[in-house]
Amino acid sequence: PQEEVWQLLHCTKSWGKVYAINSAEFNTPGKQQWLIENGYDLNIEYPPLSVKMIIEGKLSEALEASEIDYATYKGAAAILNNFLLLLNNFAPAVIEQNFNTTSIDLEDLLTKLLHHAQNFATKPEEILDIVALCIGLNTLVDTQNWYKLSANQCHTIIAACDKIIYQRDWQAEIDTTLITAEGVNYPLCDFAYELDIDIWSRLFSYFCEHPTEIQLLPYLLAYTGDDRSEKVLNVVEQNIYQYIIDQNALLVPLRYLRNHPGKGVGIIIAALTSLYDWPRGIACMILDEWGSDHLTPALRHALHTAQGLSNHPVVNARIEALLTGKKYKIEDVVE
């Protein structure tokens, strides 16, 4: 029953909402507007929903208005960014087989959205939607994916995006509002990173004073050069006892260490000997990928300690495999 479907739409932001949107009827202007404004208020990523939102939300008609409100603009930007994700993550043949996109005029939709963006995309935080569109369009160009847009159409729309993104020099605004008394402006960090504006030194100085500001780690570890990442890892190691309290605090540095064998050994040891099996298991996986050449006496000692701490059969199996030099196989755990 539609009444139950709509109740579900309002009480979840996960897969239940995805199911409800796919099951719901959007047969009135009010429901169509709700779909545009609230459809992608999700805590999961599911690009295929964009097809239904464009068609049943009558997005083209909504964007045809001479003026739209902010909620409509943000919703439309989210929908079109997700449609680009769909194009970039699914082969045209798969899209044709599973989604009816023949009525979707992507060039028209993007042109209309960019027209309205001139009224809303005036601050760095608001331009991130346009930056995301530009990234998606450039991916289409790089992969020569002309399923919904031709090469000329892509380049024309990218140029229109660039005109909005680079409407002025943002350096002064970033310098004054990146870090304030209220803390770090993370949307501005995203903006600066996407525009290749180097803010690492300012973020690192703040991180040294606030070493448990783990939200900074993805930005700090993304910049290369001048041993920057090693400096960040050193700060983490120096404050490791503040990190092991939370089972998720070490996940970003561990993800970085996966592709940097031999680095951050103190962080690996802390993860192995922490109270939690989640970071312990990740540390074991990293050591397995590093190979036995990087298994130092200190790491072996930590693995022996981890044996007495772990309560998870998979983690225990990984530890045993590392200590004995055998290849870890999930089948052995199942048996």
- DSSP for 28-48, please give it: SHHHHHHHHHHTT--SS--TT
Q: Are 247 and 276 in contact (CB under 8 A)?
A: yes
For the chain, count helices (H), then strands (E): 22, 2
Encode 276-285: b = buried (16+ Cβ within 10 Å), e = exposed.
bbebbbbbbb
**pLDDT at 138 (0 to 100):** 97
Give the C-alpha separation, 201 to 225, whole Å. 12
Please return the burial class of 38, using the count of CB atoms within 10 Å of its CB with bins 0-12, 13-18 and 19+: middle
* DSSP three-state, residue 74: helix
Give the C-alpha separation, 257 to 300, whole Å. 18
Q: Within 10 A of 261 (CB to CB), how many other CB atoms are there?
A: 13
Give the C-alpha separation, 29 to 293, whole Å. 64
**pLDDT at 9 (0 to 100):** 87
Q: Phi then psi for 180, rounded to 5 degrees? A: -125, -175
Residues 6+ apart with CB under 8 A from 134: 158, 161, 162, 165
* Run of H or E residues at 253: helix 251-257
Terminal-residue alpha carbon distance, the chain: 45
**pLDDT at 2 (0 to 100):** 84
Q: Where are the domains of the chain?
A: 2-165, 176-334
**pLDDT at 224 (0 to 100):** 80
**pLDDT at 3 (0 to 100):** 84
Dihedral class, residue 45 (left if φ above 0, else alpha if ψ from -120 to 50, else beta)? beta
Give the C-alpha separation, 194 to 161, whole Å. 13
Tens-digit pLDDT string for the chain (335 aa): 788 888 888 888 999 999 999 999 999 999 999 999 999 999 899 999 999 999 999 999 999 999 999 999 999 999 999 999 999 999 999 999 999 999 999 999 999 999 999 999 998 989 999 999 999 999 999 999 999 999 999 999 999 999 999 998 899 889 999 999 999 999 999 999 999 999 999 999 999 999 999 999 999 999 887 799 999 999 999 999 999 999 899 999 999 999 999 999 999 999 999 999 999 999 999 999 999 999 999 999 999 999 999 989 999 999 999 999 887 766 665 55
Pick the closest to residue 106 from 153, 36, 165 (CA basis).
153
Give the C-alpha separation, 146 to 153, whole Å. 9
Q: Are 253 and 236 in contact (CB under 8 A)?
A: yes
